Amino acid sequence: MLEILALAAILAQSPAATPLPVPSTESTAAAQDAKGTRRILRLANGQSIRVLSRWRDGAWEYKGRSGWDRLDPRAVTGAELEADVLRAWRAERAASDAKDLDARCRLARSAAQRGLATEALAELDAVLGAQPDHPAALAVLRDTWLLSVPTLDVPAGEEAGARAELLRFGSSLPPAGREVAVQQLARSRDRAGLQSDLARDLWSPIVVRRSFAALALRRILPGEEVRPLLVHSVRDASEDVRRESARALGSAGDPALVLPLTKALGSASLAIRSNAASALGEMGYPAAVEPLVARMAAALQSSTDARAPHSNIFVGRQIAYVQDFDVEVAQFQAVADPQVNVLLEGNVLDAGVISTREEGVEVELVAIRQALEKIVRQRPGGTAREWLRWWEKEAAHWRAADHAAPSTRAGG
């Protein structure tokens, strides 16, 4: 459907070409079926479209929303049955390693060259979902046409409206589509207006608008809107927004941005501490390694040494009995006044109350370990104690590391 919607714009850019020869007898018979056949049509401008098509009177027709539309014979340079193209590409995919992200990028490029835009985007979505800055995936999106997005090729007076439409459309797309929309946003001539729009969208009540704004700032305007990004990296309710905001802070190339987040590691709130640790991992600055290890040691110490609150509890019963009688005489009469006492029977026990804080510390330790893995690209173990032993050996190296630039985030 996206190919059909973009067809008019594509054809408008297509240069004149030699008319395509009339199909063979066999293909002509299939093409002249009134219902048409799914094909990939190669256009003179190098792009391809997948449509329900048929051959009529020396030209191709495709099924659009309003019925059959005729194409200029000079605009189409080739046609293949979609089923044949899919069969060949799926065979290539079956022979590839699905866990190899570079191989999946090659599959995406192959799909794009075959005119299989949907399949190419799906492969790139998987790659960017695992490694958001994968260079080969971003290169495919730069080099090939896979998706039509609202354009900024409009008069200067209309750019603000076109940019608003592009922001709305781009925020609704999956990872690969978002990158295409960001590439179009980067063409904006009004940088101040673009920054203002993105700063506004950072506070949108719509989650996808906030996360897309953070992505666009990272790609186009690194180092801008630092204050709101710091807030969103720790306090936003959406994990996606926190992640994109932290990555944008990493793209700023300023290790000083680690300082406010290391302070947040000492917050009384478990959520703030965990989110700050995760944000430091996404930012990727080596300067964050030592503060993360220090917080890990403190959290581990509090979880092992802290004694649960204790008190006493009595479990038993009370038995009332008459211990004695006092005799009182009044007006020549004697009255027995009973003395009642209480017998206690039971045990006094020491009781300890286990608070939920123990579980919270473990959540924080997991966040810190994951953050360290992203920065140092190592996994010495799955426990805090193993990481602390690693730090004893590696502390000198990381204290002397170049703190000016984040570690490569190719691993996500």
52 vs 44: CA distance, rounded Å: 19
Residue found under tokens 């009540």: 205
- 3-state SS class at 411: coil
| Per-residue pLDDT of the chain in tens (412 residues, 90 and over written 9) | 444 445 544 444 444 444 444 454 445 544 456 688 999 999 888 888 899 999 888 889 998 888 899 988 888 999 999 999 999 999 999 999 999 999 999 999 999 999 999 999 999 999 999 999 999 999 999 999 899 999 999 998 999 999 999 999 999 999 999 999 999 999 999 999 999 999 999 999 999 999 999 999 999 999 999 999 999 999 999 999 999 999 999 999 999 999 999 999 999 999 999 999 999 999 999 999 999 999 999 988 876 544 556 666 667 777 777 777 676 666 666 566 677 777 777 777 776 655 544 456 888 999 999 999 999 999 998 899 999 999 999 988 888 766 656 765 434 4
Rounded distance, CA 188 to CA 185, Å?
6
Adjacent-strand bridge partners of 123: none
Residue 58 exposed, middle or buried by CB count within 10 Å (0-12, 13-18, 19+): exposed
DSSP designation for 35:
T
Tell which CATH architecture fits domain 2-84: Roll (2.30)
Pairing of strands 67-70, 76-81: unpaired
- State the sign of the Cα–Cα–Cα–Cα dihedral 313, 319, 324, 327: positive
Of 303, 306, 294, 304, the closest CA to residue 371 belongs to: 294
Place of tokens 């479209």: 49
Place of tokens 């005119």: 115
Q: How much is the pLDDT for 26?
A: 42
Total Cβ atoms within 10 A of residue 226: 17
Q: Do 275 and 371 form a contact (C-beta atoms < 8 A)?
A: no
pLDDT of amino acid 334: 59
Question: Both tokens of residue 132?
Answer: 């958001």
Which of 277, 265, 238, 286 is CA-nearest to residue 368?
A: 277
Report the pLDDT value the prediction gives residue 411, as an integer from 0 to 100.
43
Q: What is the DSSP letter of 41?
A: E
pLDDT at 346: 74
Q: Which pairing describes strands 48-56 and 37-43: parallel, antiparallel, or unpaired?
A: antiparallel
